[in-house]
Structure 1
């Protein structure tokens, strides 16, 4: 997708609505700006994460999430009717 937009005297560029919609960008969102070797400007939408939730986006945590998703997909899970049932199951395994 390509379109023209104009740079204002203040250095601002308006992103076309179609692009904002397709990238789920909202007013106030952040955009990473990079310049590649050929002199092209690359804009990448970014979302901020609260510091107390940043652990979730670490590679180590995401690896665990992918493993859990795989276990669920392949039926390698056990469901319990209560917490007490789960504790009994774990105690029996110990």
Structure 2
């Protein structure tokens, strides 16, 4: 089922769920960072958790936009923005 076939309410609820998930992962990350030895040993993984949170939040913002965005410039994570722009270009080329 395509995103356009879902109601705006459903997409907003999905965005809320994504934001709540990001918050839960942030709490987990903060808890793990409270142990200095663990933080020092697993800094790369903890930074990965932070990137997951940022990505999940940005995807949620895209879902909340009316009619999906024509431009992804507002997305702060470059890798996500580029991926969505590439997918959007393929979608337009196929149309």
TM-score, with structure 1 as normaliser: 0.22
Greater Rg, structure 1 or structure 2?
1
**Greater percentage in strand:** 1
Q: Flag the structure with more relative contact order, 1 or 2, with Cα contacts below 8 A and sequence separation at least 6.
A: 2
